[in-house]
Amino acid sequence: MRALSPVPASWASRTTSGPSPRARLADLVLTSVDPLDDIHALADAATVTAVVQGGRLVKDLSGRSR
């Protein structure tokens, strides 16, 4: 998150980066690869270990979901 947060904040004309306000829901992709090194590795579904979309867990390969 730290590597990517300042860039989208600048695109959105925000002066700070960090957590979203409580009323907003974030999408999050957890992966076993570094997308900064090889973005194409995300095309392999096995490298995506979890997905949170609209604040809801929609994929969890770890089996630790509630």
Q: By the 8 A CB rule, do 11 and 17 touch?
A: no
What beta strand segments (E) does 1-66 contain? 28-31, 48-53, 56-60
Is the confidence at residue 63, as pLDDT, over 90?
A: no
Average pLDDT over the chain reads 75
8 within some domain: no
- Domain span at residue 28 reads 22-61
pLDDT higher at 10 or 48 = 48
What pLDDT sits at residue 25?
73
2 within some domain: no
Is the confidence at residue 14, as pLDDT, over 70?
A: no
Is the confidence at residue 1, as pLDDT, over 50?
A: no
49 within some domain: yes
Q: How many domains does the chain have?
A: 1
pTM here is 0.54
Give the pair of three-digit tokens for residue 63.
Answer: 């089996």
55 within some domain: yes
37 within some domain: yes
10 within some domain: no
